[in-house]
Amino acid sequence: MATSPPLLALRGVGVTFGGAPVFSDIDFAVGRGDRICLVGRNGGGKSTLLKVLAGTVEPDSGERFVEPGIRIATLAQDVVAAEGATVADFVTEGLPEGRREEEAYRIVEVLDRLRLDPSLAMATLSGGESRRAGLARAFASDPDILLLDEPTNHLDLPTIEWLEGEIAAFRGGVVVISHDRKLLETVGNRTAWLTTGRLLQRDAGFIGFDDWRDTVIAEQEAELHRMDKKLAAEAEWLHRGVTARRRRNQGRLRALMQLRSERAATRREPGTAKMAIESAAPSGRLVVEAEGIGKRYGDRTIIRSFSTRIMRGDRVAVIGPNGAGKTTLLRMLTGDLAPDSGSIRLGTNLVPLYYDQRRESLDPDATLWRTLCPKGGDSVMVRGRLQHVVGYLKDFLFPESKALSPVHMLSGGERSRLLFARLFAQAANFLILDEPTNDLDMETLDLLEELLADFDGTVLFVSHDRDFIDRIATSTILVEGDGRVEEFVGGFSDHLRHKRTQEPAVPAAAKAQPKGEAKPKTERKRLSYKEQRELDQLPGRIETLEKEAEKLEAALADPGLYARDRARFESSTARLEAVHAERTAAEDRWLELEEKRQTLEEAGS
């Protein structure tokens, strides 16, 4: 299906692990100009297929063809460097041995574009820096084919945008595995879907994939239904006492046995993980209040005089370049790190849950069973009730056969699902998520988005997934570096629109104004005195209402109040409803005035 003569091709390829087929009978070709989005469920074999294409995994059946003289560069999910290697050493190893000195200039160019110090030791790099080193190694070799496995993991937004431009301009063939919908929609011109051990392909980019996938699944289910009906009819014929000794029946009996064999071998597309988040008792209305917080490390200012209020139900994204201070801000806002200046106030009744982007809390040598039952036994407490660990693992799409497998045998997406399984067994009202989308397949990512959108607690998350931010965030905090932090309403697309409004307009040629024509009225560049005074007073008003609501809620929490003093119970209930309405109106008014203030200041700057 390549759009040009193939540089790399697979014919009838199959791979089996532990006696079970990962995929079989796959035909796949990559030609110049192909930008192929390889998608499918976690654990379905995408990374294995990429390794077969690269030649690092031998297929159990079929053939691999490579045009002589072409260069293939790969980026694996985990970047592994030799002990003691520097960034320059690691990238140089990706060049052909006989041409390393001749092509060394490429290393300098690509490391400069990716903002990487060639003298840094690979062992000291952060996740984002390791990823950039892997990309530098792939692009510096001037390959004919690029094989990229989750290239956006740990990357910041500027680097992702750089990567999109590089892939779009690349003249060879590209195969990319990614959960980043924006990336796939931007760069792809072909789609390959690895599902139930088969590779389905379409000569179109990722846009429209969801509709195509749903159509294919519906057709598969209809075919399985027809097969099941035929099996039932043939089984009834057999049960009526037809003897196999009769020659005319033997052919039909063999056909029935063959149909049963085909039905048993048929694999369905895995269902969706049964993830669920149970909300703990509601927190106070105020979750986090930061006033003029700052943080320095040595001579470097990380955060300078930043203020924010996070209210119950908010879903706040934190974005910015790697190393700008996102994690530092996250730790300060959650009370894990004290600011050098300013103050942090956390709300009442907070029950937090933390998701760690590097999954360091998972013991790689522990089994999945032991991960969920660290104290032994065969049951896990899931949102207040005991559930057998194997059944709970199945809810997260882990078959029973994997329950005793070590964590290090899992794919990146499977490890993420395991961590979610452990986290979501607990109730919470405040989720703190550091890069939660890394390695997740599309279906699990869609489910996570639905869960977070319906969660009635508060979510504070770091992400570089633009589509995820747009779907989830009610507001976004941009950590720009050098101490600059800015908050705005909405998601990533809103950030782009906000950014465009700040860019200076190209001045138009001044037009001569006719003599005697009245000058246009000068537009106001700030709030009126009355509006500014109202804006200044609203936070105090909101805080007063919050305190009153907390007192009323505490009083109404008394189970004996209704029996003792029904009138007080009813008046407190009515007043609590009124306070909630007044507070909501005050918050809406504050947001309206604050947005107006920002718009006027930007227009006047």
Burial (CB count within 10 angstroms: exposed 0-12, middle 13-18, buried 19+), residue 564 = exposed
Residue 75's pLDDT is 92
Give 185's contacts (C-beta < 8 A, 6+ positions apart): 205, 206, 207
Q: What is the pLDDT of residue 573?
A: 80
* pLDDT value of residue 347: 92
Predicted pLDDT at 26: 92
Q: Does residue 229 contact residue 221 with C-beta atoms inside 8 Å? A: no
Q: How confident is the model at residue 535 (pLDDT cuts 50, 70, 90)?
A: confident
Q: Where does the pLDDT of residue 558 fall: very low under 50, low under 70, confident under 90, or very high at 90 and above?
A: confident
Is residue 268 pLDDT above 60, yes or no?
Answer: no
Q: What is the DSSP letter of 388?
A: E
pLDDT value of residue 585: 79
417 pLDDT tier (thresholds 50, 70, 90): confident
Which comes out higher in pLDDT, residue 507 or 96?
Answer: 96
Residue 266 has pLDDT above 60, yes or no: no
Average pLDDT, the chain: 82
Pairing of strands 379-382, 352-355: unpaired
Structural domains in the chain, CATH included, are 6-211 (3.40.50.300), 286-492 (3.40.50.300), 529-604 (1.10.287.380)
List Cβ neighbours of 100 (8 Å cut-off, separation of 6 or more). Answer: 92
Q: Can you give the pLDDT at residue 501? A: 65
Asked if residue 25 has pLDDT above 80, the reply is yes
**400-409: average pLDDT:** 86
Q: What is the pLDDT of residue 32?
A: 92
The answer to whether 334 and 310 have CB atoms below 8 angstroms apart is: no
Contact (CB, 8 A) for 362 and 371: yes
User: Which of the pair, 599 or 270, is modelled with greater confidence?
Assistant: 599
Burial level of 535, CB count in 10 A (0-12/13-18/19+)?
middle
Q: Give me the pLDDT at residue 515, please.
A: 40
pLDDT of 517 > 70? The answer is no
Q: Residue 72: its pLDDT value, please?
A: 94
CA-nearest of 368, 413, 405 to 17 is: 405
More confident residue, 502 or 284: 284
What does the pLDDT read at residue 495? 73
State the pLDDT at residue 514: 45
Q: How far apart are CA 457 and CA 427, in angstroms?
A: 11
How far is residue 67's CA from residue 531's CA, in Å, rounded to a whole number? 71
pLDDT of residue 519: 40
pLDDT band at 135 (very low <50, low <70, confident <90, very high): very high
On the question of pLDDT at 148 being above 60, the answer is yes
The per-residue pLDDT for range 223-249, each reduced to its tens digit, is 666 766 666 665 665 555 554 445 555
Residues 437, 181, 318, 351, CA torsion sign: negative
- Find all residues with CB under 8 Å of 374, minimum gap 6, and list them: 366
Q: Indicate whether 520 pLDDT > 50.
A: no
Top pLDDT among 21 and 486 is at 486
Q: What is the pLDDT of residue 244?
A: 47
Asked if pLDDT for residue 344 goes beyond 50, the answer is yes
**pLDDT for the residue 408:** 86
Averaged pLDDT for residues 38-56: 90
* Average pLDDT of span 199-219: 85
| pLDDT of amino acid 93 | 87
Q: List phi, psi (to 5°) of 174.
A: -130, 135
Q: How many CB atoms lie within 10 A of CB 480?
A: 13
Report pLDDT digits (tens) over 377-397.
888 888 778 889 888 888 887
What are the tokens at 543? 């805080």
CB 452 within 8 A of CB 431: yes
pLDDT of residue 510: 42
Q: Supply the pLDDT for residue 357.
A: 64
pLDDT class of 604 with cuts at 50, 70, 90: low
Identify whether the C-beta of residue 46 lies closer than 8 Å to the C-beta of residue 414. no
Q: Residue type at 343?
A: S
